[in-house]
Structure 1
Amino acid sequence: MTEIILDENDRLDWALKAFRRKVQRSGILQDLRNKRFYVKPSLAKRRKAAAAVRRRLRARGKRR
Structure 2
Amino acid sequence: MTQIFVGENEGIESALRRFKREVSKAGIFQDMKKHRHFETPEQKRKRKEVARHRQRKRSSHRS
Would you say same fold, with TM above 0.5?
Answer: yes
Q: Which residue of 1 aligns with 2:49?
A: 49
Q: Which residue of 2 aligns with 1:18?
A: 18
CA RMSD of aligned residues (A): 1.6
Q: Deviations over 1:1-56 (max 9, x none)?
A: 22111211223333222111111121211111111111111110111011111012
What's the TM-score, normalizing by structure 2? Answer: 0.79
Q: Which residue of 1 aligns with 2:8?
A: 8
Gaps of 5+ in 1: none
What's the TM-score, normalizing by structure 1? Answer: 0.78
Aligned residue pair count: 63
Residue 2 of structure 1 aligns to a residue whose secondary structure is coil
Residue identity matched to 1:30: Q
